[in-house]
Structure 1
């Protein structure tokens, strides 16, 4: 995709949660555009709509009004089945809770999304091994999640998110379950993937130290965007030295 054209365009997005007679507007006519290769952080107080924004822009949740386009395709003009397949083929997800399958090894967790979209087993295994090596876990491919540290588990999650070569990776509090050292290493990796490989990443965080490291920072309050700034960040964290640790 041409870098001059937006990868993601959200226009007038509204999301309302209803409980009985009570209606809470979580997203209030929100507009946002993200270009290919951007790394965007989303910050705001609890309840500001950060995770709802991620879920709606990725099509995990329905919206009540507006339009969301990824690579020119309107997510909510698709049927549920088509949207699910489109998400599997064009998006990767990194969650705070890792969401790894505990009985699967690292390589089995990473190759699973490829197998689900019909990739041949040999190719899926080869790509999974290569991606685990890329995130510094080439020596841990046969280990199950319970045999790995939190930082290693999150790097498996990142490898799983990237193995399908997605247009965009959505990361919801990716360092929230990690101590400061491991959180820094995971951010090193995400920054390196964005800087060196042009991976588009949209990252929700409550941590101001994490927010300070992204080139573009969006701030939310009460379901609206109240800030959108470009930040001068270092040329990238020194990820390579730390990838094999954690």
Structure 2
């Protein structure tokens, strides 16, 4: 099938549902995504299969336009898909209503964005506690957990500061704390070091590796930086909406040092 083609949404049937294996946290099967602009249709994900197991730190790399961010958005349920299945913790995201999918995402997923996406009038602790408040955690407990998580990422001394009073690296640490405070099953990170210099990027990657190693936190990150990719325990390469490579490695203990100038 041409990459420039229209894909009809695949009918879903219980017999076609993918089955996870072992400790699989996410199972994607036959995922297709088409972007349409006027008469032009671009096949962004082409019958893609992927399994992510609990506790993995996965980096997704590929040239511009290869489908990296589209993959993250579709596997997290932020974007609709045009065919296939995506199961997270055994739940098919696209069999859910929009409301149920949003609730599942709030409870089971965390997000780290390149542009931080912090609320500028909120302090660091208010930004971090917000996801907890949105899912009904009592205010006192939400504040305690937010303070504790800021301590985990080395920002206990900045909890009362607003984003414009912090460096880029500190703001990204706040986004990491916000992504993790609800104890999600999986954290998605889209170019989490893209706006940082090499020293700050190394610190953020060291932090993600530490959280993955110490807590078993599952993390899937998109990056264009081969040094960041090499610091993950699994590297997926994409090209033209398909997986072009999938390798498991053991990053060196000083992987973060290689990122520093």
TM-score bin, normalised by smaller chain? over 0.9
Q: 1:190-230, CA deviations, whole angstroms, 9 ceiling, x for partnerless residues?
A: 00000111000000000011011001000000000010001
Which residue of 2 is the match for residue 244 of structure 1?
none
**Residues in 2 aligned to 1:217 and 1:12: alpha-carbon distance in whole angstroms:** 20
Match 1:80 to one of 68, 91, 98: 98
Which residue of 2 is the match for residue 95 of structure 1?
113
**Residues in 2 aligned to 1:47 and 1:237: alpha-carbon distance in whole angstroms:** 27
Tell me, what secondary structure is at the counterpart of 1:7?
strand
Which residue of 1 is the match for residue 203 of structure 2?
185
Match 1:207 to one of 225, 231, 251: 225
Count residues in correspondence. Answer: 238
Shift of 1:58: 0.1
Shift of 1:3: 9.5
**Residues in 2 aligned to 1:29 and 1:41: alpha-carbon distance in whole angstroms:** 20
Shift of 1:237: 5.7
Instruction: List structure 1 segments (4+ residues) > 6 angstroms apart after TM superposition.
Output: none
The 1:179/1:125 distance shift into structure 2, 3 A limit, reads same
Match 1:141 to one of 159, 177, 181: 159
Give runs of aligned pairs for residues 99-114 of structure 1, distance below 5 A: 99-114=117-132
Give runs of aligned pairs for residues 36-185 of structure 1, distance below 5 A: 36-185=54-203
Shift of 1:235: 3.8
Match 1:29 to one of 43, 47, 60: 47
**Residues in 2 aligned to 1:3 and 1:102: alpha-carbon distance in whole angstroms:** 43
Match 1:229 to one of 247, 251, 259: 247
**Residues in 1 aligned to 2:184 and 2:21: alpha-carbon distance in whole angstroms:** 15
Q: 1:103-142, CA deviations, whole angstroms, 9 ceiling, x for partnerless residues?
A: 0000000000000000000000000000000000000000
Which one has the largest radius of gyration? 2
Could you tell me which runs of 5 or more consecutive residues in structure 2 were left unpaired when the two chains were aligned.
Answer: 1-19
**1:12–1:29 contact (8 Å) kept in structure 2:** yes
Give runs of aligned pairs for residues 10-25 of structure 1, distance below 5 A: 10-25=28-43
The 1:165/1:153 distance shift into structure 2, 3 A limit, reads same
The 1:124/1:3 distance shift into structure 2, 3 A limit, reads farther
Normalised by the size of structure 1, how large is the TM-score? 0.95
Shift of 1:158: 0.2
**Residues in 1 aligned to 2:250 and 2:57: alpha-carbon distance in whole angstroms:** 13
Q: Cα RMSD between the aligned structures? A: 1.4
**1:191–1:237 contact (8 Å) kept in structure 2:** no
**Residues in 2 aligned to 1:91 and 1:40: alpha-carbon distance in whole angstroms:** 15
Could you tell me which runs of 5 or more consecutive residues in structure 1 were left unpaired when the two chains were aligned.
Answer: 240-246
**2:205–2:256 contact (8 Å) kept in structure 1:** no
